[in-house]
Structure 1
Amino acid sequence: MSTTAPQTPKTPSTHRVSGAETVTAGGNVRSPRKAALASFLGSTLEYYDFFIYGTAAALVFPQLFFPGGDPAIATIASFATFGVAYIARPLGGLVMGHFGDRLGRKNVLLVTLLIMGMASLSIGLLPTFDQIGIWATVLLVIARLAQGFSAGAESAGASSLTIEHSPEGRRGFFTSFVMTGYASGMVLSTLVFIPVTALPEEAMMSWGWRVPFLLSILVLAIAFWVRTRLDETPVFEEEVVQAGEKKKLPAREVLRYQGPDVLRVLLMSIFSVMQTVFTVFGLSYATDHGGFDGSAILTVNAVSIGLSMVLMPAAGRLSDRLGRKPLMLTAMFGCAATIFLYFLALGTGNIWMVFLASLLFMTVLYSGFNGVWTSFFGELFAAPVRYTGMAMGNQLGLMVAGFGPMIGGLLLGTGTFGWVPVAIFGSVCALLAAGACITARETAHTPIKELGEPYLRATGRI
């Protein structure tokens, strides 16, 4: 009778599968590069669609969907349809965040892509006010609401997915590619719209403006294909599914245990008003009051934001070393001051002055926020409520940003310095965001399983 010596169970450990993937202790595959690419492409689609809408709202929608009467009122009404999407964003974040925290990040993000792509395609096919009257405006608003619903779920889901696929010590770097997609979408939308604005006015108003919306189907197809080949995040599988941490109502849980963090994210997200004032209101102000050609300002915006594609990953990587808060606060205080320089430059009539001011304001300083918030906001929450908590706070704060161009139109005064109230509005938003950032926990060097300390302590997990 032979006996077999008992086998000592091996402790699973993380090991490399390829240059881009590792297997975690629980046997799940972590794919940081693939996750970053999937998030980059999803954000590219989201912001491509948002920027082409914002550009159209500034240049053509007032005449196509809000004709007659005072042109200034038509422009404000057009900006209101841009902002209305931000009303739908919190709803999209809440609904899709609920399913993202219960069913997983990957499948929910596939749905958000489809909604965004179909909504943008629909806008490109819409009849105008002259063809069907007020129903054209109604259909435009419905499509815009669908865009907002999708976008409300996209950034929080993509950030959660990338954070949870990233290795320790590099979460900021990999998750920065969520907003690098923002810059990519901006550049693509501008490159598409520049030749449209160069068309004869009749051609631009009849069919030219539709082309950028119809082309979004190409970005949708590529992003959808990449996401279907990405595994669910190891953190969700190990910390939520295997640990039995699925919550029936993640929103109730996150408000109960991490309500202050939701409020912090909300206030910090208001800082995004700088982005919409720059890209949408600034475009309208430059063409209507600064005497600039629309294509010239679109080019300046595309170059200044395009260059941030280099600085945002650098900011994310630097935040892995120095912490998230120093980069965020530098951006907030810096932009609160340089927004005045940007509008002063628009008043000079010199396109090179505008470019230099844009470079400092949007490329250098704002990148310190855009390259970091995607990791910082998500890291404030524990895995079972991460998607919902980040989406809820972020999208409620972005409502202010969404209506930033409309608020700017209402605040705009007369004369050379009529822009001052708009700049003050932006600075106040930046300072509110900075105050919230100061009170937040630093998360850069916290192990991923210890993120969301208030929730973990309240539920007895630490």
Structure 2
Amino acid sequence: MDSTVTNTPQTNSKLNVKRDPVKTVILASMMGTAIEFFDFYAYGTASAAYFPKIFFPQMTPLLATLLSLLTFGVAFVARPVGSFLFGHYGDRLGRKKTLVVSLLVMGVATVAIGFIPSYQVIGVWGALLLCLCRFVQGIGLGGEWSGAVLVATENAPANKRALYGAFPEVGAPIGFFLCNGLFFALERVLTPTQMMTFGWRIPFWASAVLVVIGLYVRRRLQETPLFKLAQERDNTTASPLSEVFRSNWREILKGTFIMGATYALFFTLTTWSLSYATTALGFTSSEFLLLLLMGAIIEFAVLIMLTSVLADRVGRKKVLLTASVALVGYSLVFPYFLTGQ
């Protein structure tokens, strides 16, 4: 969702609308993203560890894993759709409404996954329903991610926009930690047979509780000051999507390629590596989940905050360029970490 009014110090000084307290903005943006990514990672973990045997038992192990991870990839087709859809209506109707709807869409799809019968019950229809729910998940997350960052940055002082924008980002490792922590606990308590029968469904059902809490928090959130100002000035547009493609198509392409490279490596590390480590390297699922949990907190969350503070001091472009160079370097050495030696 693109801002309808440029967020500058001059503009901010003219805002007479009531702002949400800083704690409310941080909680609403971070908690919603944490819930959305809890849902997203629940699917990623289940698709790597359980879905091959539950929804594709008729296939060879290799083909079953590939098909399971393919259903995981369905959301990456849907996420741009969700971003454009919720971004369009976010600039027309407001950020708060679209954030509430995106969270609800994601939550319903996630809980529904927990009730899908296995291949033994309904055959290939289980995999088809899985893809459908996964597509809806992707639409919800696409709207959530951009909207949460926008709410945070539109409420931020001009010299702290990167820091405020980091709080929704921190929601991702929080959701990752909660989701994989729950899977880790379940695998320590339940037997492998119980996990395959019903244990894998529990994180999807547990999402319903988190969604209710998230909806309560977000309904208490006010509309952002910049959007209110745009409404007062009658500065909203009837066709935000066409306008942004006409005026900012270069920025869209640049942002798409930057995030594409980032997510390619991120989900290789978090989802594919879980499948590979448990099948080729001899790790148990709980052992590798513990390693992922440590990485999520020590590196993921901490580095998000550090780089956001740095971006407010030295500029976004320098931080992005440095991170991109580091990303290329890491991608070259990463295969050696999975040799099992």
C-alpha distance in structure 2 between counterparts of 1:33 and 1:268, whole Å: 30
1:216 maps to 207
The answer on 1:317 being equivalent to 2:306 is no
Distance 1:348 1:135, change over 3 A: closer
The answer on 1:107 being equivalent to 2:110 is no
Aligned pairs for 1:28-43 (under 5 A) are 28-31=17-20, 32-43=22-33
How far is the alpha carbon of 1:233 from its aligned partner? Answer: 0.6
Ranges in structure 1 where 5+ consecutive residues have no aligned partner: 1-13, 15-22, 350-462
Ranges in structure 2 where 5+ consecutive residues have no aligned partner: 1-8
> Among 185, 206, 210, which residue is 1:195 paired with?
185
1:25 maps to 14
The answer on 1:129 being equivalent to 2:82 is no
How far is the alpha carbon of 1:340 from its aligned partner? Answer: 4.0
Q: What is the number of residues matched between the two proteins?
A: 327
> Among 225, 249, 253, which residue is 1:263 paired with?
253
Secondary structure of the residue that 2:144 maps to in structure 1? Answer: helix
Letter aligned with residue 224 of structure 2: T
Would the aligned equivalents of 1:36 and 1:175 in 2 still touch at CA under 8 Å? no
How far is the alpha carbon of 1:28 from its aligned partner? Answer: 1.1
Secondary structure of the residue that 1:215 maps to in structure 2? Answer: helix
Would the aligned equivalents of 1:41 and 1:219 in 2 still touch at CA under 8 Å? no
Higher relative contact order (CA 8 A, sep 6+): 2
Aligned pairs for 1:27-106 (under 5 A) are 27-31=16-20, 32-106=22-96
Aligned pairs for 1:286-297 (under 5 A) are 286-297=277-288
Deviates more, 1:303-312 or 1:244-253: 303-312
Identity in percent:
35
Deviations 1:135-164 (A, max 9, x none): 111111111111011011111111111110
How far is the alpha carbon of 1:26 from its aligned partner? Answer: 2.9
TM-score computed with the length of structure 1 as normaliser: 0.68
- The structure that has the greater radius of gyration is 1
Would the aligned equivalents of 1:33 and 1:174 in 2 still touch at CA under 8 Å? no
How far is the alpha carbon of 1:34 from its aligned partner? Answer: 1.8
1:298 maps to 289
The answer on 1:232 being equivalent to 2:232 is no
C-alpha distance in structure 1 between counterparts of 2:140 and 2:333, whole Å: 34
Letter aligned with residue 285 of structure 2: G
2:234 maps to 244
C-alpha distance in structure 1 between counterparts of 2:196 and 2:97, whole Å: 38
Secondary structure of the residue that 1:29 maps to in structure 2? Answer: coil
C-alpha distance in structure 1 between counterparts of 2:117 and 2:13, whole Å: 52
C-alpha distance in structure 2 between counterparts of 1:303 and 1:219, whole Å: 23
1:334 maps to 326
How far is the alpha carbon of 1:218 from its aligned partner? Answer: 1.9
How far is the alpha carbon of 1:195 from its aligned partner? Answer: 2.6
Would the aligned equivalents of 1:179 and 1:312 in 2 still touch at CA under 8 Å? yes
C-alpha distance in structure 2 between counterparts of 1:273 and 1:227, whole Å: 30
Specify which structure has the higher proportion of helix.
2
Secondary structure of the residue that 1:313 maps to in structure 2? Answer: helix
Secondary structure of the residue that 2:171 maps to in structure 1? Answer: helix
Secondary structure of the residue that 2:198 maps to in structure 1? Answer: helix
TM-score computed with the length of structure 2 as normaliser: 0.92
Letter aligned with residue 300 of structure 1: L
C-alpha distance in structure 1 between counterparts of 2:269 and 2:156, whole Å: 32
Letter aligned with residue 258 of structure 1: N
How far is the alpha carbon of 1:343 from its aligned partner? Answer: 3.1
C-alpha distance in structure 2 between counterparts of 1:342 and 1:328, whole Å: 20
